[in-house]
A and B are shown apart, each in its own frame.
Chain A
Amino acid sequence: MALLEVKNLQVRVDDREILHGLSLTVNEGEVHAIMGPNGSGKSTLSHVIAGKPGYEVTGGEILFKGEDLLGMAPDERAAKGVFLAFQYPVEIPGVATMNFLRTALNAQRKARGESEFSTPDFLKKVRDVAKSLNIPQDMLKRGVNVGFSGGEKKRNEVLQMALFEPSLCILDEMDSGLDIDALRIAADGVNALRSKDRAMVVITHYQRLLNYIVPDVVHVMSKGRVVKSGGKDLALELEASGYAQFEDAA
């Protein structure tokens, strides 16, 4: 079943059109990779799916589990199972990581009509996930992402993903800033979440990530559109020949 359907999406920022009629369908259980040159609109697409303000959708639609996503507030989308691991996670000084995680998790559960986690259950869950991602406990004692290295911030995104158990995971350049070991650990964390009713959209510049998280479909984005889609071999092809051939197509 289609989990995410992006149909002919047109998006403007400050009167400049950035996505020019982009279409993409992701089914439950699938992993899609999106590759494409800098500035082709990958992060813009992920932001619009997550509901970031400042983007004007001038045409097209986004359906999530058949529902109109664009009419929902960002927190509603999160509660319904949309998760974006940010390319640039922000630092939030003064907001303790644990407090943030618990508030977020319980807000999502409450919105779905589920009971809130008790403190011991919550703590156990966070500890287990943190351990599997090699995230030291004292990192969780700091403010959200405060003083985290680039790689630590990315791991913290994967931690949240594992904790919230969303049905759609969008990973925007999860691999940038990760060293080789961290990349493997984070990718293992992501793979552990692969399941038949969860889908993933992995945005990356590097084929290497796709050796760890093997996609079912690879899309090439250029100038605000998906210009080619194929199997996992398309990523290898791109690695060898670059994007030049698609720039014209766009």
Chain B
Amino acid sequence: MNVALAKTETGRAVSETFAMARSRLPGAGKVADARRKAFESYERAGLPTRRIEDWKYTDLRVLMREVLPLAAVPDQSALAKAVDAVKAAAVENACRLVLVDGTFAPKLSDLGGLDKGLRVQSLRETLDAGADLPAAATDDVMVSLNAAMATDGVIVSVDDGVALTKPVQIVHVATASSASVFTRSRVQVGKGARVTLVESFAAVSGAKSYQVNDAVIVSIGDEADVAHIRLMDDATDAVNISSGLVTVGAKSKVNFLGLTSGGRVSRYQGFITLAGEGSDLSVNGVNLLKESQHGDTTLVVDHAVPNCTSREVFRAVVDDRAHSVFQGKIIVRPDAQKTDGKMMTRALLLSDDAEADNKPELEIFADDVTCGHGAAIGALDESLLFYLRARGLSEKEAQALLIQAFVGEAIESIADDGLRDAVVAIAERWLAARG
């Protein structure tokens, strides 16, 4: 394929898409200017290729080819279809905030009886009222494209000292086919607040070949306690490129788990900055991939200040011809003495054609730190499989038990029993669906 030609083609297509979308994008004046600037910076680069180091294993120009036109605003029938998908994705007892094809759906959301100190608005509402687009401190082109195109999102804030009684769950439902969806949300967690945030991505049956680009900007105050779970179960022919931009204050405790089981092509990029001293960060990821899925989890943990701890545990289970990518970078800034950062990643290949790439990076500019990483890629242990089979388990049952144990090492970080069970149930469904 002629790469130069492909670039012009995608370049032209996306500028048309942007031009067509403009009338629908909320925000005037400075927001419109910011969108245009963001679009220009995206347009200069185009979809990332493997020649860009950060996108080395996920060449979107090959895997995604083009940015599809914006999905239509969901009509009544789309909203009606979304109801079941929301139910299926719902975690127990959560306050659900639903976005259908990139548009906030208040009727499907739980806006009544919000916890005191919890505030929720749609992005569109805030932009219409003159607010800025939530800013993201990155020059990543897909985040720029997101700023240009975001149609909606949710703006959530939790006041200082508030312990939410229910998880807040942002549910993205796709009902459209061959269209793109851009959402941008912000979550602000006040000082001393306790919050469980769940993000879910799902599709109604029949939604095909759509593209999701989501960005969530999370700022966590001092002495906060946050559990953040992201469950991506988009249609297996969809594209999902999502970015999380998280800033953590001092003496906070943050526990993140991302589970990717859907999407033909996906990338979750988490940029997490530890900006206050004495915080503990645990970042966990699981990729469950089969058929020809391509799933990329890229995490950058930036220790900007001294005395923080970060732990990353990543597990990939890769079947058939699927391809899993894990890139983990730990940055320790010159001031960030006494940093303790560790990253452990393991991939399990269930077939000869399965592939896993792993790129750990440590960028350490301080001298008094403990940092390390470990990685392993392999198949299931034959001697363990035989032990289980000698006890009567079929090959699939034996594999399932060992795979559950393997991903369990990442999932067990979820403190809440109900949520952990919900995540385990997704893994079990995935295992049960293996032929």
Contacts and interface: CB of A to CB of B under 8 A. Distances in A.
Partners in one complex: yes
Interface of A: 50-54, 73-75, 77-79, 84, 86, 89-90, 92-95, 99-100, 103-105, 107-108, 111, 143, 160, 164
B388 A104 contact: yes
Contacts of B55: none
B398 to A, nearest CB: 8
B392 to A, nearest CB: 4
Contacts of A104: 388, 391-393
Contacts of B389: 51, 73-75, 78
B384 interface: yes
A79 B391 CA distance: 8
B353 interface: no
A111 B392 contact: yes
Nearest to A104: B391
A50 B390 contact: yes
Contacts of B409: 94
Contacts of A93: 405
Contacts of B377: none
A84 B392 contact: no
Most chain B CB atoms below 10 A, which of A89, A103, A143, A160? A103
Interface in B380-434: 382-384, 386-395, 397-398, 401-402, 404-406, 408-409
Contacts, number: 74
A103 B393 contact: yes
Closest 8 CB pairs of A and B: A94-B405, A108-B392, A78-B392, A104-B391, A74-B389, A107-B392, A75-B389, A95-B405
Contacts of B382: 53-54
A54 B395 CA distance: 16
5 contacts: A52-B390, A75-B390, A75-B398, A79-B392, A92-B387
Nearest to A78: B392
B390 A103 contact: no
Nearest to B401: A95
Given A53-B382, A53-B386, A90-B387, A75 B394 contact: yes
Nearest to A109: B392
Contacts of A86: 387
A100 B390 CA distance: 12
A73 B389 CA distance: 8
Given A73-B389, A107-B397, 10 more contacts: A51-B389, A73-B394, A75-B398, A78-B391, A79-B392, A90-B384, A92-B388, A103-B397, A104-B391, A107-B392
A74 B390 contact: yes
Contacts of B390: 50-52, 74-75, 77-78, 84
B4 to A, nearest CB: 50
A105 B402 contact: no
Contact of B401 (A90, A103, A108, A164): A103
A104 B409 CA distance: 22
Contacts of A89: 387
A94 B97 CA distance: 35
Contact of A107 (B394, B405, B406, B408): B394
Contacts of B405: 92-95, 143
B393 A107 contact: yes
A143 B402 CA distance: 11
A135 to B, nearest CB: 17
Contact of A100 (B386, B388, B395, B408): B388
A232 to B, nearest CB: 29
B402 A75 contact: no
Contact of A92 (B392, B395, B397, B402): B402
B392 A100 contact: no
Contacts of A95: 401-402, 404-405
Contacts of A99: 401
A104 B389 CA distance: 9
Most chain B Cβ neighbours within 10 Å, of A89, A92, A143? A92
Contacts of B406: 94
Given A75-B389, A92-B384, A94-B408, A100 B401 contact: yes
A149 B190 CA distance: 49
